Amino acid sequence: NAGVTQTPKFQVLKTGQSMTLQCAQDMNHEYMSWYRQDPGMGLRLIHYSVGAGITDQGEVPNGYNVSRSTTEDFPLRLLSAAPSQTSVYFCASSYWGGAFFGQGTRLTVV
Protein backbone atom coordinates (compact mmCIF):
# COMPACT_ATOMS: atom_id res chain seq x y z
CA ASN A 1 0.00 0.00 0.00
CA ALA A 2 1.98 2.99 -1.28
CA GLY A 3 -0.58 5.76 -0.53
CA VAL A 4 0.01 8.73 -2.85
CA THR A 5 2.88 8.44 -5.33
CA GLN A 6 4.24 11.43 -7.24
CA THR A 7 6.74 11.40 -10.07
CA PRO A 8 9.20 12.85 -10.77
CA LYS A 9 10.68 14.03 -7.47
CA PHE A 10 12.77 16.74 -9.13
CA GLN A 11 12.52 18.48 -12.50
CA VAL A 12 14.21 21.39 -14.22
CA LEU A 13 12.40 22.94 -17.17
CA LYS A 14 13.23 25.71 -19.56
CA THR A 15 10.77 28.55 -19.96
CA GLY A 16 8.11 27.58 -22.49
CA GLN A 17 8.51 23.84 -22.12
CA SER A 18 5.57 21.67 -21.14
CA MET A 19 5.49 18.69 -18.84
CA THR A 20 3.18 16.45 -16.85
CA LEU A 21 3.48 15.77 -13.13
CA GLN A 22 2.15 12.34 -12.31
CA CYS A 23 0.09 11.41 -9.25
CA ALA A 24 -1.34 8.02 -8.37
CA GLN A 25 -3.17 6.80 -5.27
CA ASP A 26 -4.06 3.27 -4.20
CA MET A 27 -6.53 4.09 -1.42
CA ASN A 28 -9.62 4.21 -3.67
CA HIS A 29 -10.36 7.79 -2.62
CA GLU A 30 -12.77 9.72 -4.77
CA TYR A 31 -11.21 13.10 -4.08
CA MET A 32 -7.80 14.23 -5.33
CA SER A 33 -6.15 17.64 -5.37
CA TRP A 34 -3.02 19.47 -6.50
CA TYR A 35 -1.34 22.13 -4.36
CA ARG A 36 1.74 24.25 -4.80
CA GLN A 37 3.92 25.24 -1.87
CA ASP A 38 5.88 28.48 -1.89
CA PRO A 39 7.88 29.96 1.01
CA GLY A 40 5.75 31.98 3.40
CA MET A 41 2.52 31.18 1.56
CA GLY A 42 1.55 27.76 2.81
CA LEU A 43 -0.01 25.45 0.25
CA ARG A 44 -2.38 26.79 -2.38
CA LEU A 45 -4.94 24.73 -4.24
CA ILE A 46 -4.42 24.52 -8.01
CA HIS A 47 -7.07 22.05 -9.19
CA TYR A 48 -9.13 19.33 -7.62
CA SER A 49 -11.31 16.40 -8.62
CA VAL A 50 -14.30 14.85 -6.88
CA GLY A 51 -14.29 11.73 -9.03
CA ALA A 52 -13.31 10.30 -12.40
CA GLY A 53 -14.27 12.70 -15.16
CA ILE A 54 -14.94 15.62 -12.79
CA THR A 55 -12.42 18.39 -12.16
CA ASP A 56 -12.59 22.00 -11.04
CA GLN A 57 -10.32 24.96 -10.46
CA GLY A 58 -8.82 25.94 -7.16
CA GLU A 59 -7.23 29.17 -6.03
CA VAL A 60 -4.32 29.34 -8.53
CA PRO A 61 -5.30 27.41 -11.70
CA ASN A 62 -3.74 29.59 -14.42
CA GLY A 63 -1.10 27.82 -16.48
CA TYR A 64 -2.14 24.33 -15.36
CA ASN A 65 -4.45 21.66 -16.74
CA VAL A 66 -5.77 18.48 -15.17
CA SER A 67 -7.84 15.49 -16.16
CA ARG A 68 -9.13 12.49 -14.24
CA SER A 69 -9.80 9.44 -16.37
CA THR A 70 -9.47 6.91 -13.54
CA THR A 71 -9.98 6.97 -9.77
CA GLU A 72 -6.27 6.23 -9.24
CA ASP A 73 -4.57 8.87 -11.41
CA PHE A 74 -4.66 12.65 -11.43
CA PRO A 75 -1.92 14.19 -13.61
CA LEU A 76 -1.10 17.90 -13.61
CA ARG A 77 0.03 19.44 -16.88
CA LEU A 78 2.07 22.60 -17.24
CA LEU A 79 1.23 24.01 -20.64
CA SER A 80 4.09 26.50 -21.12
CA ALA A 81 6.36 26.68 -18.10
CA ALA A 82 7.18 30.07 -16.60
CA PRO A 83 9.69 30.99 -13.85
CA SER A 84 6.69 31.88 -11.62
CA GLN A 85 5.81 28.19 -11.63
CA THR A 86 8.99 27.30 -9.80
CA SER A 87 7.61 25.64 -6.70
CA VAL A 88 7.09 22.39 -4.85
CA TYR A 89 3.97 20.59 -6.03
CA PHE A 90 1.97 18.24 -3.85
CA CYS A 91 -0.78 15.87 -4.85
CA ALA A 92 -3.32 14.81 -2.23
CA SER A 93 -5.92 12.12 -2.00
CA SER A 94 -8.73 12.59 0.49
CA TYR A 95 -11.85 11.24 2.11
CA TRP A 96 -14.15 12.59 4.81
CA GLY A 97 -11.49 12.02 7.44
CA GLY A 98 -8.72 14.07 5.88
CA ALA A 99 -6.13 14.33 3.13
CA PHE A 100 -3.04 12.27 2.43
CA PHE A 101 -0.19 13.97 0.59
CA GLY A 102 2.49 12.63 -1.71
CA GLN A 103 6.19 13.36 -1.24
CA GLY A 104 6.13 16.28 -3.66
CA THR A 105 7.76 17.30 -6.93
CA ARG A 106 10.31 20.11 -6.77
CA LEU A 107 10.09 22.00 -10.07
CA THR A 108 12.51 24.66 -11.20
CA VAL A 109 11.81 26.71 -14.33
CA VAL A 110 14.82 28.54 -15.74
Partner 1 sequence: QQQVKQSPQSLIVQKGGISIINCAYENTAFDYFPWYQQFPGKGPALLIAIRPDVSEKKEGRFTISFNKSAKQFSLHIMDSQPGDSATYFCAASISGATSGSRLTFGEGTQLTVNP
CB 7 → partner 1: shortest distance, Å? 13
Beta bridge partners of 11: 107
* Residue choice 34, 64, 74, 90 for contact with partner 1 (CB under 8 A): 90
- Kindly state the smallest distance separating residue 103's Cβ from partner 1, in Å: 5
Taking CB under 8 A as the criterion, the residue among 33, 55, 85, 87 binding partner 1 is: 33
Stretch that binds partner 1, among 19-27, 67-75, 78-86, 96-104 (CB under 8 A): 96-104
Q: Whole-angstrom Cα distance, residue 30 to residue 24? A: 12
The residue among 42, 34, 38, 45 whose CA lies nearest residue 93 is 34
Burial 8-17 (b: 16+ CB within 10 A, else e): eeebebeeee
**Cβ closer to partner 1: 3 or 83?**
3
